[in-house]
Amino acid sequence: MSVAGSQYVLQTGLASGMSATEGPIHSPHPNPVDPKMSEESYVLPSEIIPDSRARITLRGKAHDVLVPYICIGAWSWGDKATWKYDAERDLPRIRAAWSKLRQVGLTFVDTAPAYGDGDSERICGQLFKDMRREEFIIQTKWMSWPDPTNVFLQSHGLENKLRSSLERLGLEYVDVYLVHGPTHLSMISTVAQGLANCVNNGLARTVGVANYDKDDMIKMANELDKHGVPLAVNQCEYSVIRRNPEVHGLIRECRQRGIVFQGYASLGEGRLSNKYSRFHEPPRTYRFSSYPMHMLEPTLNVLERIAEQRRVPVAAVVLNFSINKGVLPLVGIRSGEQAEQDMQALGWRLTPDEMRRIEAIASLIGLSKELGHHSIVVGAGKVNSEQAANYFQLTLKPNDHLRSLDSQTHKSSLRSALNLTSEKMERSNKPSAIGVAASLPQPTITFRENKIEATLPTGESVTVHLYGATVTSWKLANGREQLFMSEKAHLDGSKPIRGGIPVVFPVFGPPPPNHATSSLPQHGFARNSNWEFLGKSSSESLGKKDCDDSVKLDFGLSHTMLSEEFRKAWPYEFGLLYSVTLSKEGLETALQVQNKGNQNFDFQVLMHTYLSIDDISQVRVKNLGSKTYIDKTQNATTHTETSPALEINKETDRVYKALDPKVPIIVASAADDKLIFSVTREGLNDVVVWNPWIEKAKGMADFAPDDAYKKMICIEAGSVAGWQTLEAGESWEGSQSIRPRL
């Protein structure tokens, strides 16, 4: 029976939003998974470490089917509508992949009549010809849309369609027969009757469904049970970045009923395998997990670091994540290289800590704004496209563990995109052409010993420790340090770092009694926790200047990343995105807070900035005159600032309230009134001015030398005079910008 055109019908359906996650309709830009909804990481018993010979049981009426922990997706085999199949190019590669898979026993294949108008099934049949029947497992599907066979034959339509599939496969029976989706017009009871007929007539050993939500799956299981046939499989989209079946309880229901949950698009149609980037997006026909690539960069950074530590491909880490979750991943393979990568998902297990890291970072998808964006400005004449392609790379040192955007694919894509001439430009005031001999210096990013270092081509640099996401160094182009660091600061993660710019959240100072934060340590947990590095982006300077003049580093923290002690002390669900932007003009730090739970929570936030100065007696703090402040050295009493230029000549610990954030706080020279630092804020209306002075400096074990108080002043932008209330699902942002004397 002909299935001509079905591959295009399938692609059209996907383009309109049909059946991509579970149920009939999906969003091409799905919401991220809320960590509170995720199941326990280890749903697969910890003593099980699947290798290529390990098997899972699919329950049948008369025959169970034993399958490997990975299923090979054959959608691309013969399909032109989505995968642009070319027999001369692709068939030899498929055969090479199959040869490698056979050697290790990964011979469980998923196909369907809709894939390549039946050509996928025909290719499978060719691959099976020289194999004994017990050496492979084949799973195909019933095309459930309303064609004449399905409309007029009702339950017999399933058997009729399966016989056509068997003819293309050259087989007498299939191991697994699935309903391709809940798009059938017939009642579930009628479809169940058809599936049972296929089993009873020896055409299928086990049966299942695809893209069914929990309620419909239960209905199908109950109807099949009336015929004595178990529901063996439910197949839906599932991966690190698309965990809706887990969120909605579908996977849990499958486990409870003995139904094997298969997850297709396990690598997000290549998005999670390092094949694509923001400069080389997947084809538009790849509609599953269709996040823009820039949104996935933080997740890919974490996956790559784990992959490097384990010496396996990123794809192997992603598939191992699904296996840990109790999901049987279905992954498309059409080359020997892909087969070798995906095989490496077996024989080991991600640790609980690695699982939490992946879950935590994936939960931040959608929290941040775009993590950097490059727009291209092309001058008169042709741009040197090699230079333009190189411009977008991350400049990394050999021992780095960061995700590099440097790949031949990215370069080729950019070369093509940037081969523009002046005739194509219609702007006035066009910039000068970039000379073909010129180079485009880029920021250098290094990652070592749990700290990120970024250096601009002009020499400015910043260092951020992952512990607390604490900025510990900021140097100008001349090498002059702008931040104070105690000589006894703990940089090993044993204590908060004394100096730099610690992040204070969700409470400032000692927590008040009888408050949600009362069990937390002073200044909360943000400065006491390990953050995740999310990635880097640089300025849009191509064609405007001679190099990138800024770099932004993004860091993330969520409640799943906290220690058990902190989670118990403050049991709210949140996400933090912290950005540190270095430019020639100064340093900016910004924090975004999101309430990811169902309960409102109160919080305070502060950027505890230690500025480095030559002599505390020779500086004044300006623009605080007539402002109200709380003096914490005088029992937190309220006062009004009387001096237009505050002199620090004793222990100072003041919270200046309700300031205009657009009016900068100025640290100036007492001798000539010249600016030393300027601090402007956005969303941070309070400013703390702090210096421990002589006695308190001596009493702090991690403050050294004792007279270092002379070399620092804290100008701390925050929201700490009261409490911010963040409602469920809402977010808040605040930032500071520091400009030094240049």
DSSP labels, 392-406: TS-EE-TT--S----
Say if CB 687 and CB 714 are below 8 A apart.
Answer: no
CA 247 to the chain's CA centroid: 17
**Residue 490 in domain:** yes
Instruction: Establish how many alpha carbons lie within 13 A of residue 368's alpha carbon, considering only the half-sphere containing its beta carbon.
Output: 31
- 270 or 649, which is more confident? 649
Task: Give pLDDT, residue 81.
Answer: 83
Same domain, 350 and 470: no
pLDDT at residue 384, rounded to an integer: 34
Give the angle 93-97-98 at the CA atoms, nearest 5°.
Answer: 115
Model confidence at 184: pLDDT above 90: no
Helices (H), 492-569: 564-569
Distance CA(484)–CA(612), nearest Å, equals 5
User: DSSP string covering 626-640, please?
Assistant: T-EEEEGGGTTEEEE
Chain mean pLDDT for the chain = 83
Query: pLDDT, tens digit, for every residue of 377-423?
Result: 222 222 233 332 332 232 233 333 333 333 333 333 323 332 322 23
According to the model, what pLDDT value does residue 396 have? 32
What is the share, in percent, of the chain residues with pLDDT greater than 70? 80
Average pLDDT over residues 631-656: 96
Q: Are residues 450 and 324 in the same domain?
A: no
How far apart are alpha carbons 298 and 300 in whole angstroms?
5
**Tokens (6 digits) for 629:** 């402040």
Read off the pLDDT of each residue in 633-644 and give the average, rounded to a whole number.
96
3-class state of residue 528 by DSSP = helix
Its sign, for the CA torsion 422, 426, 432, 436, is negative
Instruction: Supply the pLDDT for residue 417.
Output: 30
CA dihedral 725, 727, 728, 731 (to 10 degrees): -80
Same domain, yes or no, for 453 and 328? Answer: no
Give the angle subtended at the CA of 83 by the CAs of 80 and 89, to the nearest 5°.
Answer: 80
Which of 483 and 186 is assigned the larger pLDDT? Answer: 483
Span 566-578, pLDDT tens digits: 999 999 999 999 9
Q: Report the CATH number at residue 477.
A: 2.70.98.10
Over residues 576-632, the pLDDT tens digits come to 999 999 999 999 999 999 998 999 999 999 999 999 999 999 999 999 999 999 999
CA atoms of 714 and 483, how far apart (whole Å) = 10
CB 483 within 8 A of CB 499: yes
Q: Yes or no: say if 678 and 669 are a contact pair by the CB < 8 Å rule.
A: no
H or E segment and range at residue 175? strand 174-179
Tokens 């900021």 found at:
474
Q: Dump pLDDT digits (tens) for 673-705.
A: 999 999 999 999 999 999 999 999 999 999 999
Residue 179 belongs to a domain with what CATH number?
3.20.20.100
d(CA 419, CA 423): 12
Q: Which two tokens stand for residue 330?
A: 């279905």
Is 656 within 8 Å of 689 (Cβ atoms)? yes
Can you tell me the distance from the alpha carbon of 161 to that of 149, in angstroms, rounded to the nearest whole number? 8
Residue 190 — pLDDT band, cuts 50, 70, 90?
very high
Are 185 and 279 in a shared domain?
yes
pLDDT value for 416: 32
Please check whether residue 625 lies inside any domain of the structure. Answer: yes
Residue type, 463: T
What is the C-alpha to C-alpha distance for residues 355 and 574, in angstroms, rounded to an integer? 18
Q: Across residues 244-259, what is the average pLDDT?
A: 90
What are the b/e assignments for 452-465, b being 16+ CB within 10 Å? Answer: bbbbbbbebbbbbb
Q: Which amino acid is at 702?
A: D
Matching residue, tokens 């480095």: 612
Choose from 384-393, 441-450, 551-560, 587-596 the range with maximum mean pLDDT. Answer: 587-596
Write down the pLDDT at residue 38: 60
pLDDT value of residue 296: 85
Indicate whether 563 and 660 sit together in one domain: yes
In a shared domain, residues 10 and 97: yes
633 and 540, same domain (yes or no): yes
Residue 203 shares a structural domain with residue 298:
yes
Q: What is the pLDDT of residues 125-180, one digit of tens each?
A: 999 999 999 999 999 999 876 565 555 455 688 999 999 999 999 999 999 999 98
**56 and 183 together in one domain:** yes
> Span 63-68, mean pLDDT?
95
Strand-strand pairing, 137-142 and 174-179: parallel
Check residue 31 and give its pLDDT. Answer: 53
Q: Which domain holds residue 138?
A: 6-19+47-368
Report the distance separating Cα 608 and Cα 482, nearest Å: 14
Residue 321 resides in a domain: yes
* The overall pTM is greater than 0.85: no
d(CA 246, CA 714): 46
Is pLDDT above 70 for 541? no
User: What token pair was written down for 365?
Assistant: 């998808």
Domain end call among 335, 368, 401: 368
* Per-residue model confidence as pLDDT tens digits over 315-354: 999 999 999 999 999 999 999 999 999 999 999 999 988 9
The pLDDT, as a whole number, for residue 98 is 97
Q: Which residue has the tokens 């698009």?
A: 265
94 and 234 inside one domain:
yes
Query: What's the rounded Cα separation, in Å, for the pair 207 and 209?
Result: 7
Q: Is 176 helix (H, G, I), strand (E, B) or coil?
A: strand
Give yes or no for residue 241 having a pLDDT over 90: no
Do residues 351 and 454 share a domain?
Answer: no
Which residue type occupies 427? R
Could you tell me if residue 404 is inside a domain?
Answer: no
Task: Indicate whether 90 pLDDT > 50.
Answer: yes
In this predicted structure, the answer to whether residue 36 has a pLDDT above a threshold of 60 is: no
Task: Label residues 689-721 b or e (16+ Cβ within 10 Å = b).
Answer: bbbbbeeebeeeeebeeeebbbebbbbbbbbbb
**Domain shared by 357 and 448, yes or no:** no
Cα torsion through 113, 114, 120, 122, rounded to 10: 40
Report yes or no on 35 lying in a domain.
no
In the numeric block, which tokens belong to residue 276?
């694509």
In a domain, 430, yes or no: no
- Mean pLDDT is highest, among 59-63, 399-403, 443-447, for 59-63
Query: What does the DSSP assignment read for 129-149?
Result: TTS-GGG-EEEEEE--S--HH
Catalytic residue selected from 39, 237, 716, 733? 716
Q: List C-alpha distances in Å: 672 to 337, 480, 618, 625, 668.
A: 68, 21, 10, 19, 8
Higher pLDDT, 58 or 44: 58
- DSSP secondary structure, 273-289, as one string: TTS-BTTBPPPTT--TT
| Statement: residue 2 has pLDDT above 90 | no
Strand partners, 583: 550
Interatomic CA distance for residues 136 and 332, integer angstroms: 17
Number of domains in the chain: 2
Cα distances from 390 to residues 229, 387, 535, in angstroms, run: 59, 5, 18
713 has a pLDDT exceeding 60: yes
| 26 located within any domain | no
Tell me the two tokens of residue 260.
């094997």
Q: Is residue 30 in a domain?
A: no
In angstroms, the CA 383 to CA 424 distance is 12
Q: Which of 321, 345, 368 is the last residue of a domain?
A: 368
pLDDT at 431: 34
pLDDT for 430? 32
pLDDT at residue 295, rounded to an integer? 82
Coil, helix or strand at residue 692: coil
> In the prediction, which pLDDT does 292 show?
81
Count the neighbouring beta carbons within 10 Å of the beta carbon of residue 536. 23
For the chain, the straight-line distance linking the first and the last C-alpha, in angstroms and rounded, comes to 78
Quick: pLDDT tens for 7-23: 545 445 544 444 444 44
Residue of 231, 202, 122, 109 lying closest to 170 (CA atoms): 122
Domain boundary residue among 368, 390, 417?
Answer: 368
Catalytic residue among 608, 727, 730, 733: 608
Residue 539 backbone dihedrals phi, psi, to 5 degrees: -75, 165
Structure tokens that stand for 371 in this block: 């993590």
Q: Is there a catalytic annotation at residue 608? A: yes
Please name every residue paired with 261 in a beta bridge, in sequence order, or none if there are none: 234
Question: Which has the minimum average pLDDT: 284-293, 429-438, 551-560, 730-739?
Answer: 429-438
Which structure tokens are listed for 463? 């260092």
With CA atoms as reference, report the closest residue to 566 among 601, 529, 535. 529
pLDDT, residue 7, reads 52
> What is the DSSP-derived secondary structure letter of residue 231?
E
Q: Longest Cα pair distance anywhere in the chain, in angstroms?
A: 98
